[in-house]
Chain A
Amino acid sequence: MSGNLARKDRTRAALLLAPAYLWLTLAVFLPLSAMAFFSFLSDVPFGDRDWHVTLDNYRAVFESGTYATLLWKSLKLGMTVTALSVLIGFPCAFVLAKVIRGRAREAMFLLVILPFWSNSLVRIFSWAIVLRGNGVLSGLIDAILPWDVRINLMFSPTAIVIGLVHSYLPYVILTSYLALQAIDDSLIEAARSLGARRRTILLRLILPLAAPGIIAGAVLIFVPVVGSFMEPRLLGGRLGTYYGTVIEDQFVAVFNWPLGAALSFVLLAVILTILALASPALRRSQR
């Protein structure tokens, strides 16, 4: 009887899960397998091109020091942007969740979400207008300071970091906000009644309890930032060669899809390894 019921439940679960799995197969698994296949070919299998299966692409990636250097550069960029986003985003989320109430909170939320709603190219070009020499930022600082300052942040790593932090900050704010929102105010009141001051409450209570949200946000943005190519290209100019831009070049400019695919899978493997190595530490911090 109970076995019968269990089977019924399993059938129902399978039926309910089917659309999701079908979608994942179509949208994730098929394209990824196609790319995995390409990464082992000598040329794209389109038209009358000659192609055969080879490991040359991976050999090229590992033999050339350039890719390793670029990957390391991209990982450093990912770490910088993630760290800055958490440092800026967590206090923002805290103010939103625990300090501001009512309509002011709604208005602030709108400001946080606004970057989401603007086209990423428009966003990046607006930064270009702000950051370039004789641009908005330079003009503003010139107007405030009495002496002559010339600021040109355009085409520098700083510009890339500014652009990326602006693009990805909302993710950190939103995940941190959700985690902070779930912390009952009475916990903070209880800590205060026990004599705890702000610093202690932050370190012993709020940070540990919000850690899952902060970590989720950090992981969420670290991965796309490492592979980013638009911000480095448009805001970095000549200095904007990163791992992501090289992959983009293979697909768009050089039309060497197999090498681009191999580069992508190496990146995927590196990121998965990093997350796997970090996960015991992350799990500990969530306890």
Chain B
Amino acid sequence: MAQVRVEGLTKTYGGARALDAVSLSFPDGGFFGLLGPSGSGKTTLLRAIAGFVVPDAGRVFIGDAPVENVPVEAREIGMVFQNYALFPNMTVAQNVAFGLEVRKVAAAERARRVAEALELVQLGPFGARKTNELSGGQRQRVAMARAIVTRPRVLLLDEPLSALDKALRVDMQIELKRIQREVGITTIFVTHDQEEALTLSDRIGILKDGRLVRHGPPREVYDDPRDAFTARFLGEANLISGVPEAGGLRLPDGGLIAGARTATVAVRPENLRISLCEPQGPVRLRARLRQRIFAGAMGTCVLDWRGEALKAVGRDRDFADLPGEGEVWLTWDADDTIALEG
């Protein structure tokens, strides 16, 4: 267990900046989610911490020691790969034992720790199985057991759940969180799935074009995304732009969003309310309802406001009175207005 820190990490691949002066601290024992679209540099950052990527500039610390000159095999890390990378010529138990064998742990101790790790991932009776006899979820667990059995200082997960189908993924998220809590290893994981990042992480970091856009606890970042990219990438957001003036944000159609001080504000789809008669609240917009989409318990309304597509999400029965399409009023609580910079 250790704190991990990167300072001014920069990596260029033939002109393209995969990492651009990224500085970030990963708290000891925490579960940190690195989130970003593909090509944002999140995997490069993870691989730089692991030691597979040698940065052009910047420093990496595990614990308090700089590790730029420490090769991967001496960094005392545990890593779970996207394809799990289980050794096909070994059984489940041999896979898990590999790291201990390399460290020359005595056979009895090794067997005890392998059994313990397999128990932790609920694969106790599977030790003698071959890896190709396992399902996707089981392979994931073996990869996890193999990575933590050596008691690494940091656990790195590279899109660990992306190869699983949705139902299994949700189960494994809960499982992953439980395992991480039990072993308490500082964990850094990469994902492009924002829901996964929100579910698992104590803290998240959002990357875009190799730059760290925002980081902090998930709720804080979700409630106050600060910029349009984060607002749209983490959850969904309706962006509304106008001209700021003394009382609020003056919209092109003459309406005023009271209290807003920035040129662009965001409203989460779940906070938008739709009504047929003019609402009394201070914030209201006239928009056109384009489509109502039924998706089980929840429904989505697609709206058009002066050529901009807006989205409202709610329980389907909240939208029951609405017509299939037509002119409607939109409103939301003033507290739900999110100010965005830039």
Question: In the complex, which residues of chain B have a beta carbon less than 8 angstroms from the beta carbon of A204?
Answer: 87, 98
* Residue from the set A184, A200, A204 with the largest chain B CB neighbour count within 10 Å: A204
Chain B interface size, as a band, is 20 to 34
Question: In the complex, which residues of chain A have a beta carbon less than 8 angstroms from the beta carbon of B146?
Answer: 190, 194
Please state if B83 and A184 are interface contacts (CB–CB under 8 Å): yes
Which residues of B73-128 have CB atoms within 8 Å of chain A's CB atoms? Answer: 73-74, 76-79, 81-83, 85-89, 98-99, 102-103
Question: In the complex, which residues of chain B have a beta carbon less than 8 angstroms from the beta carbon of A192?
Answer: 52, 71-73
Question: In the complex, which residues of chain A have a beta carbon less than 8 angstroms from the beta carbon of B76?
Answer: 195
Q: How far does the alpha carbon of A184 sit from the alpha carbon of B83 in the complex, in Å?
A: 10
Determine how close the nearest CB of chain A comes to the CB of B48; give it in whole angstroms: 13
Please state if A196 and B73 are interface contacts (CB–CB under 8 Å): yes
Given that A187-B85, A187-B87, A209-B88 are contacting pairs, would A193 and B77 also be in contact in the complex, using a CB cutoff of 8 Å? yes
Please state if B74 and A191 are interface contacts (CB–CB under 8 Å): no
Please state if B98 and A194 are interface contacts (CB–CB under 8 Å): yes
Q: How far does the alpha carbon of A137 sit from the alpha carbon of B8 in the complex, in Å?
A: 56
Q: Which label, helix, strand, loop or mixed, suits the secondary structure of the A interface?
A: helix
Q: CB of A106 within 8 A of chain B?
A: no
Question: In the complex, which residues of chain B have a beta carbon less than 8 angstroms from the beta carbon of A22?
Answer: none
Please state if B102 and A194 are interface contacts (CB–CB under 8 Å): yes
Q: CB of B44 within 8 A of chain A?
A: no
Please state if A195 and B87 are interface contacts (CB–CB under 8 Å): no
Question: In the complex, which residues of chain B have a beta carbon less than 8 angstroms from the beta carbon of A197?
Answer: 73, 102
Please state if A189 and B89 are interface contacts (CB–CB under 8 Å): no
Please state if B87 and A191 are interface contacts (CB–CB under 8 Å): yes
Query: Chain A: which residue is nearest B50 at the CB level?
Result: A193
Instruction: Give 1 or 0 for each of B156-182: 1 = CB within 8 Å of chain A CB.
Output: 100000000000000000000000000
Please state if B83 and A208 are interface contacts (CB–CB under 8 Å): no
Q: How far does the alpha carbon of A134 sit from the alpha carbon of B308 in the complex, in Å?
A: 87
Question: In the complex, which residues of chain B have a beta carbon less than 8 angstroms from the beta carbon of A4?
Answer: none
Question: In the complex, which residues of chain B have a beta carbon less than 8 angstroms from the beta carbon of A191?
Answer: 87, 98
Please state if A189 and B85 are interface contacts (CB–CB under 8 Å): yes
Please state if A184 and B89 are interface contacts (CB–CB under 8 Å): no
Please state if A193 and B79 are interface contacts (CB–CB under 8 Å): yes
Please state if B73 and A186 are interface contacts (CB–CB under 8 Å): no
Q: CB of B140 within 8 A of chain A?
A: no
Q: How far does the alpha carbon of A187 sit from the alpha carbon of B98 in the complex, in Å?
A: 12
Q: CB of B186 within 8 A of chain A?
A: no
Q: CB of B187 within 8 A of chain A?
A: no
List 14 A–B pairs whose Cβ atoms lie within 8 Å, in order of A's numbering.
Answer: A184-B85, A186-B82, A189-B85, A190-B81, A192-B52, A192-B72, A193-B77, A194-B78, A194-B102, A194-B147, A196-B73, A196-B98, A196-B102, A209-B89
